[in-house]
Structure 1
Amino acid sequence: MPESESAEQPPQEPVELQRDTAEGDGTAPAGLSEQQQRTLLRLLKVAYPHPDFPDDPYERTAKAVQDADGSAELLADGLDDLDEQAGGDFAGLSDADATKIVEQVANGAFFKLVHSTTVVALYDDHQVWELLGYEGPSFDKGGYVDRGFDDLDWLPDPRVEEYDGEPRAEIVATELVKAEGSN
Structure 2
Amino acid sequence: MNVVSAAFPHSTFPRGPYERAADAVIAQAGTDPRFLAQLLQGLTDLDAQREVRFSELDAETAGAVLRGADGSPFLTSIVDSAIVTLYSDPEVWDLLGYEGPSYDKGGYVDRGFDDLDWLPDPKIEFEDEVPA
Shared fold per TM-score greater than 0.5: yes
Q: CA deviation at 1:159?
A: 4.5
Higher relative contact order (CA 8 A, sep 6+): 2
- Pick from 16, 28, 39 the counterpart of residue 75 of structure 1: 39
Partner of 2:98: 134
Q: Deviations over 1:109-152 (max 9, x none)?
A: 11111011011111111211121111111122221121131334
Q: CA deviation at 1:86?
A: 2.4
Q: CA deviation at 1:100?
A: 1.9
Partner of 2:6: 46
Q: CA deviation at 1:82?
A: 0.8
C-alpha distance in structure 2 between counterparts of 1:46 and 1:145, whole Å: 37
Tell me which amino acid in the other structure corresponds to 1:109.
Answer: P
C-alpha distance in structure 2 between counterparts of 1:44 and 1:64, whole Å: 11
TM-score, structure 2 as length reference? 0.83
SS of residue in 1 equivalent to 2:9: coil
C-alpha distance in structure 2 between counterparts of 1:44 and 1:117, whole Å: 10
C-alpha distance in structure 1 between counterparts of 2:88 and 2:39, whole Å: 22
Are the equivalent residues in 1 in contact too, given 2:21–2:85 (CA < 8 A)? yes
- Pick from 84, 98, 104 the counterpart of residue 68 of structure 2: 104
TM-score, structure 1 as length reference? 0.62
C-alpha distance in structure 1 between counterparts of 2:74 and 2:122, whole Å: 46
Q: Deviations over 1:17-58 (max 9, x none)?
A: xxxxxxxxxxxxxxxxxxxxxxxx121111101110110010
Q: Deviations over 1:49-68 (max 9, x none)?
A: 11101100100110100111
Unaligned 5+ residue runs, structure 2?
none
C-alpha distance in structure 2 between counterparts of 1:124 and 1:53, whole Å: 14
C-alpha distance in structure 1 between counterparts of 2:103 and 2:84, whole Å: 20
- Pick from 115, 119, 123 the counterpart of residue 87 of structure 2: 123
C-alpha distance in structure 2 between counterparts of 1:79 and 1:136, whole Å: 34
Partner of 2:18: 58
C-alpha distance in structure 2 between counterparts of 1:110 and 1:125, whole Å: 23
Tell me which amino acid in the other structure corresponds to 2:128.
Answer: P
C-alpha distance in structure 2 between counterparts of 1:158 and 1:112, whole Å: 39
Partner of 2:128: 167
- List structure 1 segments (4+ residues) > 6 angstroms apart after TM superposition: none
